[in-house]
Structure formats: structure tokens, C-alpha cells
Chains A and B, each alone.
Chain A
Amino acid sequence: MLKDITLGQYFPGDTVIHSLDPRTKLIMTVVYIVVLFIAGSWVSYGLVAAFLVLCVALSKIRLKTILSGLKPLILIMVLTGILNLFYQKGERLLVDWWIFHIYLEGIVKAFFMITRILLLITGTLLLTYTTAPIRLTDGLESLMNPLKKLRVPVHELAMMMSIALRFIPTLIEETDKIMSAQKARGADFDSGGLMRKAKSLLPLLIPLFVGAFRRADELAVAMESRCYHGGQGRTRMKQLVMSARDWTALSAGALLTAAVITLDAFGL
């Protein structure tokens, strides 16, 4: 049960979107977010939305999956909508009751903001849905490479990330085991108030942490005996290669940006 949890909710596939270089997808996601914030009109929004729909269609991620990914954020969207609804002043007053004044502009603004959040989250979900976490780490390391000149420990950070990802299932398994062992000795994890529940987690967390430190120690020795000595002089088996496909995607991103800026300039 606990074993099935994966971080970042990756859905394997072999579509165009899946096979893009992780660097392309990271850059595209950033470009997409920036464009989304530049876009100030419904026309440019329509363009961005069309682009997103195209990407989702290409990735063959089911609509249901995306909707379930959006579910936890409904509250934020509703709140943003309500705030914008009441705070936007305008000319055409629609409702004027007690302290509530709703203008037509407010309704428009609320829709606008909700759409923005919707597009923002869906776009980033698409990144994590179509890219394996380890590929994302590789991509990040490669993109941040120039920062090495500023003595940012890029390789070490990426190594930490990938080890963390590697050990999540192992630690989940261990948590499962410890939980069963404690339950077998009468521990109760489910009942009681918040405080009691938090307290009952203590006998679970302590062995888990001790175990994690022991593992870290053993892993470090194992890595050293396999000649690990930092990023220096290290090669990679799987090198990230930008293909024609990636350049096409990036060009599409550039065109989208140009189009949105142009539309904005003409006030559409």
C-alpha cells in the first residue's frame, strides 16, 4: 500500500512530450510561466491555453488525471476568485449590499485570475507527469552547470536529490515495517486527538531516523569504495542530447512568447 506512492506522480509513456530532453521541458515550463504572466488579454490567454491544450493532447495524459492533480488547489482558486471579486473597483456596479460591492470588472478579473492559476498549475503538472524525477534532476544539474563557476555545489546538490529520490521507497518500506512492529506491541496510531496522534508517531520516527543515519553511513562507504570522489573527472553513461525535436519545441516556445508580447503591445 504505502509502497505504491511515488514522488512527483510520473506517468511513464513514449509520446513526443515524454521523449523531450528534460532541459527542454524545464526551460519550456519557465518560459510558459513567464508568458502566462505577461499575457494580459483574453486573446493572448486563448493562445497560451491553446498551446497548453496541444501539449496535453500530445502527452496523452488523461483529462481525469489532470483534474485530480488540480483538486487540492480548488480552495486556493476559489479564494483568489472571491478576493478579486470584491476588491476590484470599476464603473459598473452590479451588487451593492452592506459592505459588499461587486462590479462587472471584478467578475471579469476573478475569472481572469482563476484561469491564470488553472493554466499555471496544469502546465507545471504536465512537466512532472511526463518527466521521471531522476531525469528532472539530471536536467537541473545540466542547466545549473554554469553556476559551478560561482562555486555553487551543483553536482553535490544533484547527487543529494537523486539519492533522496532513490531512498524514498526504501524508507517507506521501512516505515511500514516499523509501524507493523509497533502495532504488534500495542501502539495505536489512529485514535485520539491531534496531540495524541503526534505523540504516538514518536516511536515511529525515532527508529526511522536512526535507521536513516545508519543507511547514510553505509551508503557513503559503499560509494567511496566505488571510487566516488565528487563531480571532478566524472563521466555519464546517459548523456543528455538535444535532438531536432527539442529545438522545435524551444522554437515553438519562442514563437509563443513573441506572439503574446505582440498581442499585448496592440492591447488585444
Chain B
Amino acid sequence: MSIIIKTEHLSHSYDINSKDEPAVRDISLEIEEGSFVAILGHNGSGKSTLAKHFNAILLPTGGKAYVLGMDTSDESLTIEIRKTVGMVFQNPDNQIVANVVEDDVAFGPENIGIPSGEIRQRVDEALKSVGMYKYREHAPHLLSGGQKQRVAIAGLIAMRPRCLVLDEPTAMLDPIGRSEVIDTIKKLNREQGITVILITHHMGETIDADRLIVMSDGGVLIDGKPKEVFAQAERIESVGLTVPDTTKLLNALNRHGFGLPLDALSVEDCAEAIYRAVKKETN
């Protein structure tokens, strides 16, 4: 697997002159192409700041960030980097540019000078891949939050990026919108092999990720597979994040002498684990 994004001792201070701690400090990571990576952290943990380095919206004040080997601080590469890594933001209203859904999806390809016939084709494909094709002629302000966010994703897909960074895309959505968006990005990751970096503070959205990075105070606290990370429930809770209910339940049971595995994250897995443990006891 090749590496799509790489940071080397990356640090960022919003105000270089201030004596405050930098928003992110000394982060070195490598993200594999085609993987689904979740970055989890509390407000102010630096997760959004880190994410904005992945497509050169912010430039490191210390260290380096590379996208497919391209240095993000080289301005002549900025457009190329942004074509490779697309970014979805929290507020769906503030990233939609046009009055009609399909015109908005066309905005990115138009910017990079794709011929008009091909834009049409890309726009249709992108809208189909997020399940918004039948809304192509709608006005975006009449759509629901989840639908708007899917339009925003389509707008990036139409540029054929190799990586999508989603900065808390579900924070302003209701539960239905939230699952619409998460299902869409999982599908894009699975079917089109697009690398997904999902920034979130909803633990539940990270369960299916290939890798989970927990951030705290501008640094990486834990980095591993979701099951491994959740097994360290106390460390996660120590930085103000809540672990999934299933993990909580398993931890509580273990405190009372059950030797349950802590990596059963979904409700089904958890029930299964408890069932097996209870069965063993009664036998």
C-alpha cells in the first residue's frame, strides 16, 4: 500500500508570537491510500487544525506535510494537492456555492478547467454515487442537512480526488442525516477505493474505521485499530471522550469478574460475547 498523506514533526500555532501552546505539535503520521482513518478528539484537541494541513488550507509552522510526496508548503503544488485531497466541512450551508445542486457539484471541475461535456458526465456520476441524482435540479437551501452534506461530498467526488477529509461532517445533522452521510462515505471508501479521513467526536462513527487516531492537547494520544483503542477505555475517558455503551458495559462486567474481550464494539458482537460468557459460567 502506498502512502497518500505523510506528516513529519508537524506543528501549527495560529499565532506564532504568542506564548500559548501550539494547536498541534510534533505529529508524525502516515496514512495509507485506500484506508478509512478516523481521527477522534475533544473540542480543542487540534484535530481540525491537523486536518486542514492535509490539503494545504493551513501550512505547518513547524515540520512538514506531504500529499503523495508533494510538499504542501510549495505554493505551485497547491492546486494539485487540492485536486488529490478534497475536504468537507462541518456546516453544509457554508460550503455550497451555487443555487442549483448540479451547478454546485460542477463548481470544482469548472475550477480545474475540465471541458464542459466531461463536467456534465462527472457531475451525473458524482450525484449518483451519493444518491442525490434525482435532486440535481433542486435548490440546495430546500434540502435537509444530510442531503446538503451529500451534495458537498458529490462536489468533491466530481473532481476525482484520491482522498476525502471530512471535518466533523455530521456535527450539525440529525441522526438520520448522520447515518446518510456516514453510509455514503463508507460506500465511497469501499467501492471506489477513496481514502477517507473522518474527523469526529462521535465514537460510534469510528467503529468501522481501519484505523483510529485519538488526539488530545494537540498531540496523538492513541493510534491503532478501533478495537485496540476502545480496549483502553480509561485512557479515552481521561481526555473527556465517552466510549461506546457496549465498551462501557463490557468494562463494567469485567470489573465484576467476567473475563470478556473488550473488542466487541457493535451491539450484536457485545451481546454475543456476553451470551458466550454467561453460557460458560452456567455450564
Write the residues of chain A forming the contact surface with B, with a CB cutoff of 8 angstroms. Answer: 132-134, 162-163, 165-166, 169-170, 173, 215, 218-219, 221-229, 233-239
A162-B98, A222-B94, A225-B57 known; A134+B103 contact, CB < 8 A: yes
A235 to B98, CA, bound (A): 15
Q: Which of B81-89, B228-236, B250-258 contacts A (4 or more CB under 8 A)?
A: B81-89
Write the residues of chain B forming the contact surface with A, with a CB cutoff of 8 angstroms. Answer: 55, 57, 79, 82-83, 86-87, 89, 91, 93-100, 102-103, 106-116, 119-120, 123, 139-141, 152, 155-156, 159
Q: How far is the CB of B48 from chain A (nearest CB, A)?
A: 11
Q: How far is the CB of A158 from chain B (nearest CB, A)?
A: 12
Q: Which single member of B99, B113, B139, B159 contacts A226 (CB below 8 Å)?
A: B159
A-B contact pairs, 11 of them (CB 8 A): A134-B100, A169-B139, A170-B141, A218-B95, A219-B97, A222-B87, A223-B97, A225-B87, A226-B159, A228-B107, A234-B110
Closest to A173 in B: B141
Contact call B99/A165, Cβ cutoff below 8 A: yes
A133 to B79, CA, bound (A): 31
Contact call A234/B94, Cβ cutoff below 8 A: no
A166 to B139, CA, bound (A): 9
Q: How far is the CB of A175 from chain B (nearest CB, A)?
A: 13
Contact call A215/B93, Cβ cutoff below 8 A: yes
Contact call B107/A226, Cβ cutoff below 8 A: yes
Closest to B112 in A: A227
Contact call B120/A221, Cβ cutoff below 8 A: no
Q: Inside 8 A of B95's CB, which chain A residues have their CB?
A: 218-219, 222
Q: Which single member of B89, B110, B120, B159 contacts A222 (CB below 8 Å)?
A: B89
A219 to B140, CA, bound (A): 15
Q: Inside 8 A of A221's CB, which chain B residues have their CB?
A: 57, 89
Q: Inside 8 A of B152's CB, which chain A residues have their CB?
A: 222
Q: Inside 8 A of A132's CB, which chain B residues have their CB?
A: 99
Q: Binding site of B, secondary structure by majority: helix, strand, loop or mixed?
A: helix
A134-B99, A169-B139 known; A234+B116 contact, CB < 8 A: no
Contact call A218/B112, Cβ cutoff below 8 A: no
Contact call A237/B94, Cβ cutoff below 8 A: no
Contact call B111/A227, Cβ cutoff below 8 A: yes
Contact call A234/B99, Cβ cutoff below 8 A: no
Q: Inside 8 A of B106's CB, which chain A residues have their CB?
A: 236-238
Contact call B111/A228, Cβ cutoff below 8 A: yes
Q: Which single member of B94, B119, B140 contacts A235 (CB below 8 Å)?
A: B119
Closest to A159 in B: B97
A166-B97, A219-B97 known; A225+B139 contact, CB < 8 A: no
Q: How far is the CB of B163 from chain A (nearest CB, A)?
A: 12
Contact call A235/B55, Cβ cutoff below 8 A: no
A133 to B139, CA, bound (A): 13
Closest to A214 in B: B94
Q: How far is the CB of B122 from chain A (nearest CB, A)?
A: 9
A42 to B100, CA, bound (A): 45
Residue among B91, B93, B112 with the highest chain A CB neighbour number at 10 A: B93
Q: Which single member of B97, B111, B115 contacts A229 (CB below 8 Å)?
A: B111
Closest to B96 in A: A166
9 closest residue pairs by CB, A with B:
A222-B95, A237-B106, A218-B94, A237-B119, A226-B108, A169-B141, A227-B111, A225-B87, A233-B113
A120 to B115, CA, bound (A): 40
Q: Inside 8 A of A163's CB, which chain B residues have their CB?
A: 97
Contact call B156/A226, Cβ cutoff below 8 A: yes
Closest to A221 in B: B57
Q: Inside 8 A of A219's CB, which chain B residues have their CB?
A: 94-95, 97
